[in-house]
Amino acid sequence: MHAESIYSIIYHDIFDFPLTKEELVRWSSKLKIENSKLKIENQGGYYFLTGRADLVTKRVNRKKIFVRKMAIARKAAKVLELLPTIRMVAVTGALAMANAAEGTDIDLLLITHPGTLWLTRLIVFGLLSISGFKLRRFGDSNQKDKLCLNMWLTTGYLVWPVRDRNIYSAHEIGQIVPLVNKNKTYELFLSDNRWIKNYWPNIIA
């Protein structure tokens, strides 16, 4: 197995996430592990470090959790899509990788029209609340299935800060799942952050 693939398996092992053959290509890294003595196993079409076969069962179970949580996210996105100032709504974090645990929240990234972020934010929280969605508040001990609106951007500035660019943030950007995508905002977001190819070259065509 190529050194880049071994690095990717090691990286995703940190998050208890075995990879399929297709994902090994998608998440092939420019970083390499040279002369690694670590061994890779394959079970059920998933690749993982030797001794970590339990991750296959965990991933299969979390796929079921993914389906349920994504249904909630999609319902919320349909509500938010009605707002003219909303340009994009996307799922981020572990859920975007179908790797969220049962008790976790649903992280969303929202992108608005320039100059409307704070007004849109206010309307969004009110609209989702009256629509019956559970929102995660600061300090909540019970996060399960609550919407966490923790990332806001405007189409006027989509470039990720240089100080925050690293392999983790590159992966977080590359894995987002757009649910609302007006005027190709998702494509613009990726284009403005092509630096992620420095870490994951296959994530953007």
pLDDT digits (tens, 9 = 90+) for 182-194: 999 999 999 999 9
Q: Which of 141, 66, 163 is nearest to 107 (CA)?
A: 66
Q: Whole-structure pTM over 0.85, yes or no?
A: yes
pLDDT digits (tens, 9 = 90+) for 18-52: 999 999 999 998 777 765 678 899 999 999 999 99
Domain boundaries, the chain: 3-52, 61-198
Kindly state which CATH superfamily the domain 61-198 is placed in: Beta Polymerase, domain 2 (3.30.460.10)
DSSP string across 35-104: T----EEEETTEEEETT-THHHHHHHHHHHHHHHHHHHHHHHHHHHTTSTTEEEEEE-HHHHTT---TT-
